[in-house]
Structure 1
Amino acid sequence: MDEYQRKYQKNTKTTAFSIELDYTPQPSDNNPFADDYNYPTFGFGMRLNRNDITMHRSAKDGWGMAEEVDYDSRLGNIVTAYSTFTRPVLVWPKHATPGQRRFEVDYTLGLGLAYAKHKYSSGNNIDNELIGSRFLVYFVGGTHATWHVSPSWALFGGIEYSHHSNGALNRPNKGANYCGPVAGVRYTPTHEKTKSSCIGTSDKSCNPYWFANMALGFGGKTLNEDWQLTQFRTPPDSARYRTGRFHLYAAYSMQTHVMYRYARRWASGIGIDAFYGTYADRVREIEESRVLTTPETQVAKVSPWSLGVAIKHHVYYGNLSARMSLGYYLLRHMGTNAKEVEKPYYEQIGLHYSFPKWGGLTVGASIQAHRTKADFTEIIVSYPLCFSK
């Protein structure tokens, strides 16, 4: 929680409960990806966040034209459907198969979709700057230690970070972040009987190769400038005063990168990203009006085109891949507000699925962010061109 959020958020207590159905591949499956990841677990679950989080903007803190209300706004409860990928990184006995492990340490990554009971509303939840939509995207990451007290029962504990967000498809888009300890019980009804020597017997061969990846993206975003304008620079008698309705602008991307797949599960590389935002005219209009700046402030340049260079990393499991990148803008002109809320670097993370019958054509969803705060959400179609294999 940053200094800005501390001004209006009063309570921070939240409790989460999850129920999950897990699947762990076995050595007899002869799945080389499962062997590479030390027989990971795939989870599919439901999560309830009971949030005792309230927010209130006090007039003494100075919020422009926004007037103080006589009630506290709430984040409210959030229900999430999610899937997780859990990889053991340390097991005892060493090299033990899933059914023979007594102790293990893992990391977990997960994605999901969520429903929020109390989103932002100018009528009865006006200070909820965290969540602006009923439907949200969800991310979780964490690490755990598990003690198998019997072949069927296990106790686990660890720490997790999770996040609910609109993906910038609506405002407000501050997002709800959670970090804290977790504990639970796991029951496994049956385990395949295997010998520990079975592990690691699948074919690990994977010839490294270079490839170029060409990608086109189409997405959408709402403007932080519109949020700032309607929240703090619009008089109370205006129909747009602290509204919860914002225009969704189209955003396009073109990405070309050269990758080296040095292992079956990993590929890394570097590339050029180009972005085109249809919202540039609206940003220019706000910039020229100086409503978010001062009359003395020089009007900043605004261009719909942005260009960046990024390092890329792909993580594979079968036809699925998680793709992430960290980029630096070579060209970016999006007005004064963008200079304040954005850094010159950007982050991307997404989940993709490839179709081998179509030459590896891949379709996925991705979120681009600045300082981990979503800037826009997009659908990406990409195609690999192999140099050698």
Structure 2
Amino acid sequence: MFKKLCIIFFFIFNILYLFSQDTIFNKFSIGLNERYGFIIPHRSSLVYIIEDHVKSWDITLSYRTNGNKPWHALYRTPELGIGFYHANLGNPNYLGKVSAIYGYIVIPIKKYKIIDFSYNIGTGVALLSNHFNYIDNIYNIAIGSQANAYIDFGLSAKFKILNNLSVSSGLQYTHYSNGAWRKPNLGFNIPSVNLKLFYSFYKSHEPEKSKVEDLKSNFIKKNEYSVTISKGVRENAPPNGEKFYPTAICLKAERLVTLRRKIGTGLDVFYDPSLKSRIEDDSITFKNIYNFRSGIHLSHDLVFNKVSITMQAGVYFFTKAKDDGLIYSRFGLRAKIYKNLTTSLTLKTHFVKADVIEWGIGYSFNK
């Protein structure tokens, strides 16, 4: 398979090279990446199905931003790209393989003459070949669906070999799960080291310092207030059971502290009808109010014009579902879609255990 990937890599390379004189194509970069990692056994039951390390590769095509938008300069002209990822999960009988298509952004940290430091964030859809089913794969107790969310983080150092040829190495953290819409859903968490070969059809450059300084000098800190209603779907154990549709309402106050970041706090009220069976299993006399949970959270957003990557950590001050603990978190995307209207797509978790994928619609205003 890796040999076929190399053929595809050089095929795309030749096409881009032929058209690289065009003003569109000479902004692209192509990369071939190989990773070596392992599945974290965050539940003791996972130990028995993990047999080997995870060997994976991906091929990427990225576009260099040109600095014509303010956020391009603020993030030192980041790269936006798409990638195809493929991995052998180390157990061909029960875990099989996974393939993913994802979008990503590479944000420079510091650029030097021959070495660049950066971090990357990616998200997409992963397809598993061997997910749980009652007929022929009851031992994959990690994931019960073929389609899953794919999330990827990384830190890397890129070294320039020739004028347009570079190699990078770094650390990656990859996660895929279905957000509990189909059980089981322990998910996979895979740290890895990687080695990547790049060919760029452009010359890297730093944004003009004067442009960045002008943006910073004209910046005014703002407060933002919002209300968001979100829905999701989840399933309780055992697999193939009843579907439940949790709802969440979030009242939030944030402050844009820099042009790239905003921090905030929020009050969350969750209504989750799936809690009834989970609480009854704990031999607690159920009351309707126990379908509700409430908490407060702190948040940090990376802002890219109208889109932001949000990270939230919260604590429940009212909950009867003790198995989930008191700490919850969210990671995902938020976007302004029209005037004061916003939308969001987030994964809510309890530490490494996914709770639900939430899609939200909201209203925000500045003051």
TM-score, normalised via structure 2 length? 0.83
**Secondary structure at 2:309 match in 1:** strand
Q: Distance in 1 between matches of 2:257 and 2:50?
A: 49
Alignment of 1:208-247 (within 5 A): 208-223=221-236, 226-227=237-238, 244-247=239-242
Work out whether 1:201 is the aligned partner of 2:241. no
| Residue among 300, 306, 310 paired with 2:293 | 306
Q: Distance in 1 between matches of 2:178 and 2:170?
A: 27
Structure of larger gyration radius? 1
1:175 Cα deviation after fit: 0.7
Residue 258 of structure 1: aligned partner: 253
1:3 Cα deviation after fit: 5.6
1:170 Cα deviation after fit: 0.6
The residue identity in structure 1 corresponding to 2:127 is: Y
Residue 13 of structure 2: aligned partner: none
Residue 327 of structure 2: aligned partner: 345
> What's the CA shift string for 1:70-95, capped at 9, x where partnerless?
xxx511111100111111112114xx
* Cα pair 2:131 2:146 within 8 Å, conserved: yes
Residue 50 of structure 1: aligned partner: 88
Q: Distance in 2 between matches of 1:124 and 1:6?
A: 18
TM-score, normalised via structure 1 length? 0.78
| Residue correspondences, number | 323
**Secondary structure at 1:348 match in 2:** strand
Long gaps (5+) in structure 2 = 1-40
Alignment of 1:81-96 (within 5 A): 81-93=101-113
1:214 Cα deviation after fit: 0.9
RMSD of aligned Cα (Å): 2.0
> What's the CA shift string for 1:327-374, capped at 9, x where partnerless?
11010013xxxx23x22110011112212xx32311121111001211
Q: Distance in 2 between matches of 1:35 and 1:268?
A: 21
The residue identity in structure 2 corresponding to 1:41 is: E
Q: Distance in 2 between matches of 1:286 and 1:52?
A: 35
* Cα pair 1:347 1:372 within 8 Å, conserved: no
Work out whether 1:325 is the aligned partner of 2:312. yes
Work out whether 1:187 is the aligned partner of 2:167. no
* Cα pair 1:89 1:105 within 8 Å, conserved: yes
Q: Distance in 1 between matches of 2:143 and 2:298?
A: 31
1:151 Cα deviation after fit: 2.7
> What's the CA shift string for 1:246-297, capped at 9, x where partnerless?
2220100000011111112211111110000122443355444xxxxxxxxx
Residues 7 and 178 of structure 1: CA distance in aligned 2, closer, same or farther (over 3 Å): closer
The residue identity in structure 2 corresponding to 1:314 is: D
**Secondary structure at 2:277 match in 1:** helix
Q: Distance in 2 between matches of 1:344 and 1:78?
A: 32
1:42 Cα deviation after fit: 1.3
The residue identity in structure 2 corresponding to 1:361 is: L
Alignment of 1:1-389 (within 5 A): 1-2=41-42, 4-5=44-45, 7-27=47-67, 29=68, 31-53=69-91, 73-93=93-113, 102-191=114-203, 198-202=208-212, 203-204=214-215, 205-223=218-236, 226-227=237-238, 244-288=239-283, 303-334=290-321, 339-340=322-323, 342-355=324-337, 358-387=338-367
1:7 Cα deviation after fit: 4.5
1:51 Cα deviation after fit: 2.0
The residue identity in structure 2 corresponding to 1:146 is: K
The residue identity in structure 2 corresponding to 1:155 is: V
Long gaps (5+) in structure 1 = 55-72, 94-101, 228-243, 289-297
Q: Distance in 1 between matches of 2:64 and 2:210?
A: 15
* Cα pair 1:36 1:265 within 8 Å, conserved: yes
Residue 234 of structure 1: aligned partner: none
* Cα pair 2:46 2:141 within 8 Å, conserved: no
Q: What is the percentage of aligned positions where both structures have the same residue?
A: 20
Q: Distance in 2 between matches of 1:221 and 1:167?
A: 7
The residue identity in structure 2 corresponding to 1:53 is: N
1:300 Cα deviation after fit: 7.2
The residue identity in structure 2 corresponding to 1:206 is: F
Q: Distance in 2 between matches of 1:108 and 1:305?
A: 36
* Cα pair 2:227 2:362 within 8 Å, conserved: yes
1:299 Cα deviation after fit: 5.1
> What's the CA shift string for 1:299-335, capped at 9, x where partnerless?
577701111011112211121111121111010013x
> What's the CA shift string for 1:29-87, capped at 9, x where partnerless?
2x211111112111211111122226xxxxxxxxxxxxxxxxxx511111100111111
* Cα pair 1:75 1:131 within 8 Å, conserved: no
Q: Distance in 2 between matches of 1:215 and 1:197?
A: 36
The residue identity in structure 2 corresponding to 1:276 is: Y
The residue identity in structure 2 corresponding to 1:43 is: G
The residue identity in structure 2 corresponding to 1:273 is: D
The residue identity in structure 1 corresponding to 2:52 is: T
The residue identity in structure 2 corresponding to 1:247 is: E
The residue identity in structure 2 corresponding to 1:16 is: S
